[in-house]
Amino acid sequence: MARRLNPKRTRAPVAALGLALGLVATGARADEPSPAPSPPPDPYDAFPLVVHHDKHYIRAGLQIGGVLAVGLVDYMLSTTARGGTNRPGDTRWGLRYDWTTLREKLIGTGLDLDTNKIATNYVSHPLAGTLYYTAARSNHLSLAESYAFAVLGSTTWEFFGEIREVTSINDLIVTPVSGVSIGEPLMQLSGFFRRGKSRVGTDALSFLLSPVKVINEVTDDARPLPAARLGPLGLPVDPWHRFVLSAGAGVTAQAADDRTHPRATYVDERFSVDARLANLPGYAEAGKHSRLFDEGNVSRVRLDLAFSQGNLVDALFATSLVPVGYYYRDAAIDAGGRLAGHGMFVGLRMGFEYGGHDYDRDRARPSDIVTIASPLGVATEYVWTRGDVVVRTAVDVSGAISSVTPYAFSTYQRNHTLDDVLTPAREQGYYHAFAVTAAPTVEISIGGLRSTTSLRLDSFRAIEGHDENEPLVANGPRFSDRRSLLRSTLAFVVPRTVLRLSLDAQHASRAGSVGAVEEERSESSAWGSVGVEF
12-55 per-position pLDDT tens digit:
555 555 665 555 445 444 444 555 555 678 899 999 999 888 99
List strand residue ranges (DSSP E) for 358-430, in order.
Answer: 368-386, 389-404
Mean pLDDT of 506-528: 97
pTM listed for this prediction: 0.89
Give the span between the Cα atoms of 361 and 254, in whole angstroms.
Answer: 8
Tell me which residue of 520, 517, 497 sits closest to 509, measured CA to CA: 520
What confidence tens digit (pLDDT) does each residue in 52-78 have?
889 999 999 999 999 999 888 888 777
- pLDDT value for 332: 96
Q: Which of 498, 522, 518 is nearest to 509 (CA)?
A: 522
* Cis amide leading into 239 (omega within 30): yes
Q: What is the mean pLDDT of residues 421-435?
A: 96
Contact assessment for residue 278 and residue 240, using Cβ atoms and an 8 Å cutoff: yes
Burial degree of 162 (CB within 10 A; 0-12, 13-18, 19+): buried
Nearest by Cα to 396 from 371, 378, 376: 378
Contact 438, 482 (CB under 8 A): no
DSSP structure string for 252-293: EEEPPPSSSPPPEEEEEEEEEEEEEEE--TTTTSSEEEEEEE
Q: Whole-angstrom Cα distance, residue 432 to residue 406?
A: 10
